C-alpha cells in the first residue's frame, strides 16, 4: 500500500511560495512577503485591513484625533496668510510690504486690506463700504490680512510655536474651530468698541491661542509658567504701542479662553456634542452682538 504524498501548504496570495506560517486570525497560510507582525503571531493583509476598520483611532485628552500631531492645520493657516500677503503686494505694490506705521516697518493700505478689513464704514471708489453696509465677510477676512511683512512674520511665528502645540492637543477640527472663533471674536470686539479704526491681522486669533494654551495647561494640571509671561508681554505691547487694536486683541483673548474652556472641560460622556453646542453658543452670541451693533450704527 503506497503512502499519500505530503502536501506542503502554499501562500493563499502567492501559490508558488511554500510556507508553514499561518495568519493568527483566519488561519490561512501566508508567506513572509504577506505577513504583518501582530501582538501575537502574524496576520494576513486582509485581516489587518479589517482590524483597522473596527479599531477606534487614538484620541487626545480632549477628543481629537492623533492626526493633529502633524500640524496640518497650522501649516495651512500659515500658507493662507502668506498667500494673502503676496496677493496684497500684487494689488498694492511694494507699499504693502513696508513704508507705513511703526517708523515705516509696517505696510500701507492696499486695495485688498480696504476690501477685507474690519471697519463699520469706509469710503473708497466713491462708494460707502464696511461691515455695517452688509459686508460681513470682513469679520473673517481681516484675520488673514496684514500691514506689511513684519506684521505678518510676528503673527506667523507665534502661530507656528503655539498652533502646533494646540493642534496636537485638540486635534485638527477642534483647533481650527478654536482659531476661527478667537479670530472672529477679536474682530467682532473691534467692530463693537473701535468704530473709528481699521483693523486687520491674525493677532486676534493668536491672542486667542495664547489664552487657550493657558486653559489647556490648567486642565492638564501642568505648569502655566511658560505661557504667562508671553501673555503679559503681549498685553503690555498692546496697551503701550500705538496703532494696535486693543479691543481686537482683548476680544480674541477672551473668546479664545471661552472656546478653550468649552473644549477642555467638556464631560467625557457626549463630549463632542457638548463641544459643538458650546462653540455654537459662542458663535451665536458673537453674531447677535454684530446684528445689534449694526442696528445701532444704522439708526
* pLDDT score at 93: 83
Cβ neighbours around 233 below 10 Å, total:
10
C-alpha cell at 145: 490680512
Residue 295 cell numbers, joined: 442696528
Q: Could you report the per-residue pLDDT of 120-131, keeping only the tens digit for each?
A: 988 887 888 899
Cβ–Cβ < 8 Å for 120, 68: no
Q: What is the largest CA-CA distance in the chain?
A: 109
The larger pLDDT score, comparing residue 39 to residue 166, is at: 166
The full set of domains in the chain, from first to last, is: 1-55 (no CATH), 67-298 (1.20.1540.10)
* Catalytic (active site) residue 249: yes
C-beta separation of 289 from 192 below 8 A: yes
Report the 10 Å Cβ neighbour count for 208: 33
Phi, psi at 122, each rounded to 5°:
-150, 140
Catalytic, 42? Answer: no
Residue 268 has what pLDDT? 87
Report the pLDDT value the prediction gives residue 231, as an integer from 0 to 100. Answer: 95
Q: Which of 38-42, 120-124, 215-219, 259-263 has the lowest mean pLDDT?
A: 38-42
Q: How confident is the model at residue 197 (pLDDT cuts 50, 70, 90)?
A: confident
Q: Which pLDDT score is estimated for 1?
A: 47
pLDDT tops 70 at residue 166: yes
Interval 196-207 mean pLDDT: 93
CA distance linking residue 290 with residue 184, whole number of Å: 11
The whole-number average pLDDT for the span 259-288 is 95
Would you say 101 and 147 are in contact if contact means Cβ atoms under 8 Å apart? yes
Torsion on CA atoms 159, 165, 171, 175, rounded to nearest 10: -30
Cβ proximity of 12 and 23 under 8 Å: no
Question: What is the structure's pLDDT at 165?
Answer: 93
Q: What is the DSSP secondary-structure string of 242-277? A: SS--HHHHHHHHHHHHHHHHHHHS--STTHHHHHHH
The answer, yes or no, to whether residue 66 has pLDDT greater than 80, is no
Catalytic residue among 117, 190, 197, 203: 203
What's the whole-model pTM score?
Answer: 0.80
In angstroms, the first-to-last Cα distance of the chain is 109
218: confidence class by pLDDT, cuts 50, 70, 90: very high
109 vs 103, more confident: 109
pLDDT tens-digit series, residues 2-53: 454 557 788 888 888 888 788 888 888 888 888 888 766 788 888 888 777 6
Amino acid at each position: 500500500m503506497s503512502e499519500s504524498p505530503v502536501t506542503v501548504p502554499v501562500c493563499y496570495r502567492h501559490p508558488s511560495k511554500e510556507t508553514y506560517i499561518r495568519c493568527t486570525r483566519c488561519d490561512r497560510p501566508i508567506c513572509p512577503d504577506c505577513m504583518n507582525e501582530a501582538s501575537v503571531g502574524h496576520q494576513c493583509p486582509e485581516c489587518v485591513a479589517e482590524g483597522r476598520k473596527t479599531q477606534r483611532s487614538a484620541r487626545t485628552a480632549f477628543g481629537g484625533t492623533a492626526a493633529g500631531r502633524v500640524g496640518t492645520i497650522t501649516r495651512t493657516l500659515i500658507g493662507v496668510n502668506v498667500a494673502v500677503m503676496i496677493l496684497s503686494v500684487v494689488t498694492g505694490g511694494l507699499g504693502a510690504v513696508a513704508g507705513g506705521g511703526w517708523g515705516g516697518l509696517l505696510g500701507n493700505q492696499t486695495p485688498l486690506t480696504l476690501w477685507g478689513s474690519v471697519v463699520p464704514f469706509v469710503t473708497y471708489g466713491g462708494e460707502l463700504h464696511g461691515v455695517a453696509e452688509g459686508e460681513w465677510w470682513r469679520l473673517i477676512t481681516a484675520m488673514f490680512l496684514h500691514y506689511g511683512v513684519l506684521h505678518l512674520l510676528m503673527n506667523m511665528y507665534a502661530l507656528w510655536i503655539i498652533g502646533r502645540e494646540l493642534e496636537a492637543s485638540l486635534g485638527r477640527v477642534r483647533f481650527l474651530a478654536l482659531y476661527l472663533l478667537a479670530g472672529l471674536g477679536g474682530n467682532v470686539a473691534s467692530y463693537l468698541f473701535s468704530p473709528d479704526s481699521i483693523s486687520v491681522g491674525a493677532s486676534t486669533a493668536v491672542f486667542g491661542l495664547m489664552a487657550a494654551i493657558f486653559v489647556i495647561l490648567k486642565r492638564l494640571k501642568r505648569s502655566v509658567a511658560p505661557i504667562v509671561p508671553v501673555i503679559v508681554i503681549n498685553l503690555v505691547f498692546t496697551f503701550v504701542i500705538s496703532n494696535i487694536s486693543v479691543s481686537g486683541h482683548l476680544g480674541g483673548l477672551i473668546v479664545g479662553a471661552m472656546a478653550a474652556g468649552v473644549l477642555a472641560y467638556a464631560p467625557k460622556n457626549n463630549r463632542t456634542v457638548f463641544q459643538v453646542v458650546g462653540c455654537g453658543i459662542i458663535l451665536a452670541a458673537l453674531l447677535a452682538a454684530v446684528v445689534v451693533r449694526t442696528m445701532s450704527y444704522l439708526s
